[in-house]
Amino acid sequence: MNYLGIDYGEKRIGLSFGEDDVGVAVPLPAAIAKKKSDRFLHIGKYITERRVEKLVIGYPYHMNGSKGKKIEEVEYFIKELTALFDLPVERVDERLTSHLVESQFKSMGRKWDRKSGEVDSCSATVILQDYLTHALEM
Protein backbone atom coordinates (compact mmCIF):
# COMPACT_ATOMS: atom_id res chain seq x y z
CA MET A 1 0.00 0.00 0.00
CA ASN A 2 1.20 3.55 -0.76
CA TYR A 3 0.73 6.38 1.75
CA LEU A 4 0.87 10.15 1.70
CA GLY A 5 1.91 11.69 5.00
CA ILE A 6 0.54 15.15 5.69
CA ASP A 7 1.48 17.84 8.19
CA TYR A 8 -1.36 20.34 7.84
CA GLY A 9 -0.78 24.05 8.16
CA GLU A 10 -2.96 26.95 7.11
CA LYS A 11 -0.20 28.35 4.84
CA ARG A 12 2.01 25.31 4.21
CA ILE A 13 1.17 21.61 4.01
CA GLY A 14 4.09 19.26 4.53
CA LEU A 15 4.04 16.05 2.50
CA SER A 16 5.83 12.70 2.60
CA PHE A 17 5.55 9.36 0.83
CA GLY A 18 5.88 5.81 2.07
CA GLU A 19 5.13 2.23 1.06
CA ASP A 20 4.40 -0.92 3.03
CA ASP A 21 7.04 -2.84 1.07
CA VAL A 22 9.88 -0.51 2.07
CA GLY A 23 8.54 0.79 5.37
CA VAL A 24 10.40 4.10 5.06
CA ALA A 25 8.87 7.57 4.71
CA VAL A 26 10.59 10.19 2.54
CA PRO A 27 9.81 13.91 2.29
CA LEU A 28 8.14 15.42 -0.77
CA PRO A 29 7.97 19.10 -1.69
CA ALA A 30 5.45 20.89 0.52
CA ALA A 31 2.26 22.45 -0.80
CA ILE A 32 3.08 26.14 -0.32
CA ALA A 33 1.01 27.89 -2.99
CA LYS A 34 -0.84 31.02 -1.89
CA LYS A 35 -4.22 29.77 -3.11
CA LYS A 36 -5.83 26.87 -1.27
CA SER A 37 -7.02 25.35 -4.55
CA ASP A 38 -3.41 25.27 -5.81
CA ARG A 39 -2.29 23.51 -2.62
CA PHE A 40 -4.94 20.85 -3.24
CA LEU A 41 -3.74 20.49 -6.86
CA HIS A 42 -0.22 19.96 -5.55
CA ILE A 43 -1.44 17.25 -3.16
CA GLY A 44 -3.51 15.63 -5.92
CA LYS A 45 -0.47 15.47 -8.18
CA TYR A 46 1.36 13.27 -5.68
CA ILE A 47 -1.71 11.16 -4.95
CA THR A 48 -1.94 10.37 -8.66
CA GLU A 49 1.79 10.04 -9.44
CA ARG A 50 2.55 7.87 -6.41
CA ARG A 51 -0.70 5.88 -6.57
CA VAL A 52 -1.52 6.77 -2.97
CA GLU A 53 -4.11 4.55 -1.31
CA LYS A 54 -4.25 6.07 2.18
CA LEU A 55 -3.63 9.48 3.76
CA VAL A 56 -1.84 9.74 7.11
CA ILE A 57 -2.42 13.09 8.74
CA GLY A 58 -0.82 14.60 11.82
CA TYR A 59 -3.39 15.23 14.52
CA PRO A 60 -2.54 18.19 16.79
CA TYR A 61 -3.29 17.20 20.36
CA HIS A 62 -2.26 19.47 23.23
CA MET A 63 0.62 18.26 25.38
CA ASN A 64 -1.88 17.03 27.99
CA GLY A 65 -3.64 14.91 25.35
CA SER A 66 -6.71 17.11 25.03
CA LYS A 67 -8.13 18.26 21.72
CA GLY A 68 -7.64 21.90 20.86
CA LYS A 69 -9.00 24.39 18.38
CA LYS A 70 -6.45 23.37 15.73
CA ILE A 71 -8.11 19.94 15.56
CA GLU A 72 -11.24 21.61 14.20
CA GLU A 73 -9.16 23.03 11.32
CA VAL A 74 -7.59 19.64 10.65
CA GLU A 75 -10.98 17.92 10.67
CA TYR A 76 -12.29 20.44 8.13
CA PHE A 77 -9.18 19.86 6.01
CA ILE A 78 -9.79 16.09 6.21
CA LYS A 79 -13.37 16.60 5.01
CA GLU A 80 -12.08 18.59 2.05
CA LEU A 81 -9.47 15.92 1.22
CA THR A 82 -12.04 13.15 1.48
CA ALA A 83 -14.45 14.98 -0.81
CA LEU A 84 -11.72 15.59 -3.40
CA PHE A 85 -9.80 12.31 -3.34
CA ASP A 86 -12.07 9.73 -1.66
CA LEU A 87 -9.22 8.04 0.22
CA PRO A 88 -9.18 6.59 3.73
CA VAL A 89 -7.52 8.76 6.37
CA GLU A 90 -5.49 7.77 9.42
CA ARG A 91 -4.88 10.33 12.17
CA VAL A 92 -1.53 10.22 13.98
CA ASP A 93 -0.52 12.15 17.09
CA GLU A 94 1.84 14.87 15.90
CA ARG A 95 2.87 16.40 19.21
CA LEU A 96 6.37 17.87 19.03
CA THR A 97 7.13 16.73 15.46
CA SER A 98 8.03 20.23 14.24
CA HIS A 99 10.10 20.82 17.36
CA LEU A 100 11.93 17.50 16.80
CA VAL A 101 12.68 18.37 13.17
CA GLU A 102 13.89 21.88 14.02
CA SER A 103 16.12 20.43 16.78
CA GLN A 104 17.61 17.94 14.32
CA PHE A 105 18.30 20.73 11.82
CA LYS A 106 20.02 22.78 14.55
CA SER A 107 22.12 19.84 15.73
CA MET A 108 23.36 19.32 12.16
CA GLY A 109 24.10 23.03 11.82
CA ARG A 110 21.52 23.34 9.03
CA LYS A 111 19.65 26.52 8.33
CA TRP A 112 16.16 26.41 6.89
CA ASP A 113 13.71 28.83 5.41
CA ARG A 114 10.39 28.31 7.18
CA LYS A 115 8.51 29.54 4.10
CA SER A 116 10.02 26.80 1.91
CA GLY A 117 7.96 24.11 3.62
CA GLU A 118 11.05 21.95 4.26
CA VAL A 119 10.39 21.69 8.00
CA ASP A 120 6.72 20.91 7.29
CA SER A 121 7.57 18.07 4.90
CA CYS A 122 10.16 16.69 7.31
CA SER A 123 7.46 16.79 10.01
CA ALA A 124 5.11 14.93 7.65
CA THR A 125 7.88 12.37 7.22
CA VAL A 126 8.16 11.87 11.00
CA ILE A 127 4.37 11.48 11.22
CA LEU A 128 4.24 8.94 8.39
CA GLN A 129 7.31 7.04 9.63
CA ASP A 130 5.68 6.70 13.05
CA TYR A 131 2.56 5.31 11.40
CA LEU A 132 4.50 2.90 9.16
CA THR A 133 6.62 1.64 12.04
CA HIS A 134 3.58 0.86 14.18
CA ALA A 135 1.47 -0.49 11.28
CA LEU A 136 4.23 -2.87 10.17
CA GLU A 137 4.74 -4.17 13.73
CA MET A 138 1.16 -5.43 13.83
* pLDDT score for 96: 61
Distance, CA of 40 to CA of 31 (rounded, Å):
8
Point out the least confidently predicted range of 10-24, 48-62, 108-122, 123-137.
Answer: 108-122
> Which pLDDT tens digit goes with each residue over 63-93?
677 777 788 999 999 999 999 999 999 998 8
Distance, CA of 9 to CA of 68 (rounded, Å):
15
* pLDDT score for 64: 74
* pLDDT score for 116: 72
Domain that holds residue 105: 2-137
Q: Are 106 and 119 in contact (CB under 8 A)?
A: no
Residue 29, classed as helix, strand or coil, is: strand
* pLDDT score for 94: 78
Residue 76, classed as helix, strand or coil, is: helix
Distance, CA of 61 to CA of 69 (rounded, Å):
9
pLDDT of 107 over the 80 cut: no
- Whichever domain contains 117, its CATH number is 3.30.420.140
> Which pLDDT tens digit goes with each residue over 19-62?
988 889 999 999 999 999 999 999 999 999 999 999 999 988 76
- 103 compared with 133, residue with greater pLDDT: 133
